[in-house]
Amino acid sequence: MEIESASAVIGPRASRPPAGQRPAVQGRAPLAVYIHWPFCRSKCPYCDFNSHVRDSIDEARWTRALLADLDRQAELAPEREVVSIFFGGGTPSLMPPATVAALIERVQAHWPTTPSLEITLEANPNSAEAERFAKFAAAGVNRLSLGIQALDLAALRFLGRRHDRGEALAAIALARASFPRYSFDLIYARPDQGAAAWQAELDEALSLAGDHLSLYQLTIEPGTAFDNRAARGERLTPDEETAAALFEITQQRLAEAGLPAYEISNHARPSAECRHNLAYWRYEDYLGIGPGAHGRVTRGGSKIATQQTRAPEAWLAALDRDGSAMEEMAPIGRDTAVEEMVMMGLRLVEGIPRARLQELAQRNVETLFGAALLRLVEADFLSLDDQRLAATAAGRQRLNAVLAALLA
């Protein structure tokens, strides 16, 4: 299958600005906009995202509230150029397409957008949702991120998914036909999944892939149904050695296939990286719209952290009552900002530009981290030169431990 590069696949909305869209302006700092839809048809047993099951949703009220939140938060970040809009969840493929269209138009009314504006929507592969793909594309979505999770029925049932293998394959085919770019997620390191089985699943995934794949190791998150089962003694993840071997296979196979890792769990053809997630990992500015969403915005030379009320009904009530559900808006001190830049940037294969880190820290990288840095470089978990500080593949595999040692 021929795969277009990201730069060649600008969606219809991005290449033909609608009436009222503000033209691109040189020299503005980039801004990414995240919009959270907190509802799902059912709760998956591994998931600790801010996602909830409700019998009915007042869609008109939710649309008004999300637009109001966007209008209010736009005041925090004027004079920017929007590079990405990301509808995440929850299950944003349950959103009314007209709501998605209205939010995209409102973003374009507030800011100029880059010619390569990326508009991603997360979708579940159930057939009912797939029926809406054409409407999302017509609304301006130019990248679909599908939660496939596994390609065989037993694994899908284990993961508590509502779709089967046939729906997964049909949704991928429809995504390919409906959007210039698409990606899908798989969860590996499932119980009893050996190297041979994962290799075979990866090969099939590669035969179905577009320009991007997200491959996550199953993690047991506190408070989830899997966490309760693990606490009762059920073994839900493989031993460390097997997990490490599966990670290695993933890195190697994807690199051979032309989609090398650019982040711990994310793989893309060159220049097809998810622009939105790069904004987080490069510690650029982003707004978080919707329940539980958080943002980082530079104002007066330093970053502000924003956090919205998490519970959907409380968020909605606050929007109706006060026009805002901002729970927290606080300046981030220099030490915390350095920590955040390091925690995000070391996830990326490209690492962190030394000059940017030193400018933020107002110190040399060697002085900043002292002997811990030297030890981690000697152990081949980090690499440092005059351009960048980066984690090696071994370092990315155990990033929590590396960060704990570096930031201690």
Residue 89 in contact with ligand SAM, rule: CB under 6 A: yes
Going by C-beta distance under 8 Å and a sequence separation of 6 or more, which residues neighbour residue 174?
Answer: 130, 133
**Binding to ligand SF4 in span 90-109, by CB under 6 A:** 90-91
Residue 398's CB is within 10 A of a number of other CB atoms, namely 16
Here the tokens at position 140 are 């301006």
Residue range at the interface with ligand SAM (CB under 6 A); choices 213-221, 266-274, 279-287, 298-306: 213-221
Alpha helices (runs of H) in 46-96, residue ranges in sequence order: 59-74
Q: State the binding partner of 178 from ligand SF4, ligand SAM, none, CB within 5 to 8 A by kind.
A: none
Residue 99 in contact with ligand SAM, rule: CB under 6 A: no
> For residues 129 and 93, is the Cβ–Cβ distance under 8 A?
yes
Nearest-5° Cα angle at 12, 82 to 88: 50
Residue 218 in contact with ligand SAM, rule: CB under 6 A: yes
Residue 293: CB minimum distance to ligand SF4, A: 14
- Number of residues interacting with ligand SF4: please give it, by CB under 6 A: 11
Report the SS3 class of residue 117: strand
Name the helix (H) or strand (E) containing 213: strand 212-217
**Binding to ligand SF4 in span 111-150, by CB under 6 A:** 124, 147
Cα–Cα dist 248/196, whole Å: 13
Residue 185 in contact with ligand SAM, rule: CB under 6 A: yes
Residue 302's CB is within 10 A of a number of other CB atoms, namely 12
**Between 122 and 285, CB nearer to ligand SAM:** 122
Name the helix (H) or strand (E) containing 304: strand 302-308
Residue 92: CB minimum distance to ligand SF4, A: 9
**Between 89 and 210, CB nearer to ligand SF4:** 89
Residue 163: CB minimum distance to ligand SF4, A: 10
Residue from the set 37, 70, 87, 89 that interacts with ligand SF4 by CB under 6 A: 89
**Binding to ligand SAM in span 43-82, by CB under 6 A:** 46-47, 49
Alpha helices (runs of H) in 323-384, residue ranges in sequence order: 334-345, 354-361, 365-378
**Binding to ligand SF4 in span 181-200, by CB under 6 A:** none
Residue 149: CB minimum distance to ligand SAM, A: 6
End-to-end Cα distance, the chain: 47
Q: State the binding partner of 43 from ligand SF4, ligand SAM, none, CB within 5 to 8 A by kind.
A: ligand SF4
Residue 187 in contact with ligand SAM, rule: CB under 6 A: yes
Residue 214: CB minimum distance to ligand SF4, A: 12
Cα–Cα dist 224/119, whole Å: 30
Residue 122 in contact with ligand SAM, rule: CB under 6 A: yes
Q: State the binding partner of 221 from ligand SAM, ligand SF4, none, CB within 5 to 8 A by kind.
A: ligand SAM
Cα–Cα dist 285/306, whole Å: 11
Cα–Cα dist 404/139, whole Å: 44
For residue 308, which of 297, 287, 293 has the smallest C-alpha distance?
A: 293
What are the C-alpha distances in Å from 5 to residues 142, 172, 404? Answer: 13, 18, 37
**Between 225 and 404, CB nearer to ligand SAM:** 225
State the residues that interact with ligand SF4 by CB under 6 A.
40, 43-44, 47, 49, 51, 89-91, 124, 147
State the residues that interact with ligand SAM by CB under 6 A.
40, 46-47, 49, 88-89, 91, 122, 124, 147, 149, 185, 187, 216, 218-219, 221
